[in-house]
Structure 1
């Protein structure tokens, strides 16, 4: 009796330890990792996984435990490991090296209606089990700790991962360090705690903001989408992670044209434009010249499609050879599917599309949003996401030209079924940065 109580206490302690120490890590449902004593599991030669039955498992207590948790399959955790092998010829050093035997580690897969905790409890007490643990989805280095990241479905869609820009694996490859992104807008709230460390205070920046007008507030939302400070336990994440923000303040077409050219002259490799004008603008040719000059200086320029349909040209997005024209996607059922926003402009000049609905980003007014984060959207939120992607590409391969980066972004976008019939809404598809790095 005393031995039974002691074993129960040990069992409780072990399971509690698992769930305390890995509380912040994702436990994989429906599977546990078991190291058996040698000879317990009898897999046919060359087989890596088999159904659970008495032909493959001779220990009746293990079979009973498998039945209790509704286990269906057992699989080698290390298919290349050979039982009893303790040394091997290294293909790297061409020398004989010592190795530990991993051949007795198996993955037991069971019905998701059974909790992992209950499965652990069944196997921990078995005499032919050396150890049993939950399987874990580890925290990727690229996944930030910002509290609002869980709301930023455009970066990581937890409902349907197909419909996001899949930033986490991209961030594992690059953080966009020190690439300047110019925000051509009405200023950026530089003292925002989730923007200030990324504000470029050097040549080319215009510091100042006005939160009393929509034009003055707009740039702060946009800047956060592109490159708010990431992985600092504050606010949310920005696509550019460690990229820098070069704020510009301009309200007229000519002022913005000057901002574009001057930003490029001062080293902004990426220039974002979440605004537009039309064919009847008398200063359109001046704007085009400034855009062309900035492009010739090597900058990648992004532009939003605009939100005043029906279809017509919107500039600078429609300067096709020099600007990446960015459309926005509306989410349905919390992101289970997406489609082009019906309130955006369309046209043959659209290049790519990204999420543009309830995009959590830096807020310009803390009296409205005490946490400093607010939902944003439409095509104004789309262009800075693509700008952040361009910054990552410059960082991961500094030898790339702006033309190459523009082509990579467009050519690696993904079209979903039905989108190919509406190129004026979707362009070449949804931007997915990780596809651009391979």
Structure 2
């Protein structure tokens, strides 16, 4: 998508002295001399304490189309069995071996997403520290923004001592929900930045951001967005929070996308511009591409592609991607023809399907709760939390490590699989056991 700008909210660089005067401040951003404010551009021009500003922009969850076709686990033949045998991702990462060393004790991971549902029986969420950054009044530690965040949270920290469901990478980490999506709406860049700073404030060892906007123009407002993003991310990193970010699902070469020419709804080319992907191309981001198998537990005997092979949708780029991790893949011919079991190549984990109260115009007026289950999804959204969970394990056994040292340990242990292009992996495919 091309990121849409808002007319009612702005990200403001402050003079850093008296603060902002005459403006409605939505989020203060201590430590970086920025703020998110609500109002008109004319009000900004008249206000004191404003050094520069740009409209807030909207960020979306971008998922491969195959996610819309995959059934929930209840519709399969394994609904009454433990689901670890279906988790090719945890098997490929040798999570049981990693858990002989640590399960993430003494660490904290923040999930900046649609909400992580504390009510899911396979999750434990720190409700006291969880926050809603949207202002919609629907609270936190729930699925008010959609099912996506609960799936991401489960990949990080689904419980392994309850004889049910799935396994997470770091089940003993302290999982915190930072909700930045509201029902049926995109996330504001300003809310995401505020959530990043909050993650650092509460001492999160990693913050997972399975979200993004692409392409965003580098010039004009893009320079301002880059400045506020880089300053925010650098601050969080210095405070000890590793920012693990999905690389995106546009099949784009981020290394060589010097000019992008988006098309409108009729297929006409709009103005071309030099592009950047936000926030995964920001400073200090640990950008994660997605891999996945073809043929796991379905089709002919043996895999057509191994778990470490690049997914068909993943963004890539030698210096734009830092590490590859299991995010799920799909044989599109098999999914289009509804071949039984094609979805096993996606990532199975927890979800919470939200239920809403709506008015006569079908507008959401209240969040009523959620139905808790398990589902298969794919995307760099699923790959990033594999790395965030791995970061928690590394930090658990090396409590004095800085964010940079945790990242270095993960990168040093990773290797580019034989026969594959380094552009899809950066340092290589995630290897948790060697990182430990």
TM tier relative to shorter chain: 0.5 to 0.7
| 1:288 aligned partner | 230
Structure 2 stretches lacking a partner, 5+ long: 1-80, 133-138, 181-186, 255-275, 298-302, 329-345, 356-369
Superposed, which structure 2 residues align to 1:15-414 within 5 Å? 147-156=82-91, 164-195=92-123, 198-203=124-129, 205-206=131-132, 207-208=139-140, 216-250=146-180, 251-278=187-214, 279-280=216-217, 281=222, 283-312=225-254, 313-320=276-283, 322-334=284-296, 336=303, 337-338=306-307, 339-347=309-317, 348-357=319-328, 358-365=346-353, 372-414=373-415
What displacement does 1:366 show? 8.4
- Change in Cα spacing, 1:216 to 1:333, as seen in structure 2 (3 Å) is closer
Conserved? CA contact 1:254–1:287, under 8 Å? no
What displacement does 1:413 show? 0.6
What displacement does 1:285 show? 2.5
Conserved? CA contact 2:130–2:141, under 8 Å? no
Q: Distance in 2 between matches of 1:302 and 1:227?
A: 15
Q: Distance in 1 between matches of 2:279 and 2:160?
A: 29
What displacement does 1:417 show? 1.2
Question: What SS does structure 1 have at the residue aligned with 2:277?
Answer: coil
Post-superposition CA distance 1:341-380 (Å, at most 9, x none): 121111222111111111111111289x977111121100
What displacement does 1:188 show? 1.6
Conserved? CA contact 1:273–1:302, under 8 Å? yes
Q: Distance in 2 between matches of 1:405 and 1:211?
A: 30
Q: Distance in 1 between matches of 2:111 and 2:293?
A: 26
More helix by share: 1
What displacement does 1:324 show? 1.2
Post-superposition CA distance 1:15-37 (Å, at most 9, x none): xxxxxxxxxxxxxxxxxxxxxxx
Question: What SS does structure 2 have at the residue aligned with 1:271?
Answer: strand
Root mean square deviation of aligned Cα:
2.3
What displacement does 1:333 show? 2.3
Q: Distance in 1 between matches of 2:115 and 2:354?
A: 17
Q: Distance in 2 between matches of 1:290 and 1:172?
A: 36
What displacement does 1:316 show? 2.3
What displacement does 1:300 show? 1.2
Conserved? CA contact 1:230–1:238, under 8 Å? yes
Q: Distance in 1 between matches of 2:131 and 2:108?
A: 10
Conserved? CA contact 1:204–1:266, under 8 Å? no
Q: Distance in 2 between matches of 1:428 and 1:202?
A: 37
Structure-2-length-normalised TM-score: 0.60
Post-superposition CA distance 1:140-191 (Å, at most 9, x none): xxxxxx81111111111xxxxxxx1111111000110141100011212221
What displacement does 1:331 show? 0.7
- Change in Cα spacing, 1:223 to 1:353, as seen in structure 2 (3 Å) is same
| 2:363 aligned partner | none
Question: What SS does structure 1 have at the residue aligned with 2:314?
Answer: coil
Q: Distance in 2 between matches of 1:403 and 1:394?
A: 11
Conserved? CA contact 1:288–1:316, under 8 Å? no
Compare CA radii of gyration and give the structure with the larger one: 1
Conserved? CA contact 2:251–2:316, under 8 Å? yes
Q: Distance in 2 between matches of 1:432 and 1:370?
A: 34
- Change in Cα spacing, 1:371 to 1:255, as seen in structure 2 (3 Å) is closer
- Change in Cα spacing, 1:323 to 1:187, as seen in structure 2 (3 Å) is same
Conserved? CA contact 2:112–2:195, under 8 Å? yes
What displacement does 1:201 show? 2.2
| 1:436 aligned partner | 435
What displacement does 1:277 show? 2.4
Post-superposition CA distance 1:86-110 (Å, at most 9, x none): xxxxxxxxxxxxxxxxxxxxxxxxx
Conserved? CA contact 2:127–2:140, under 8 Å? no
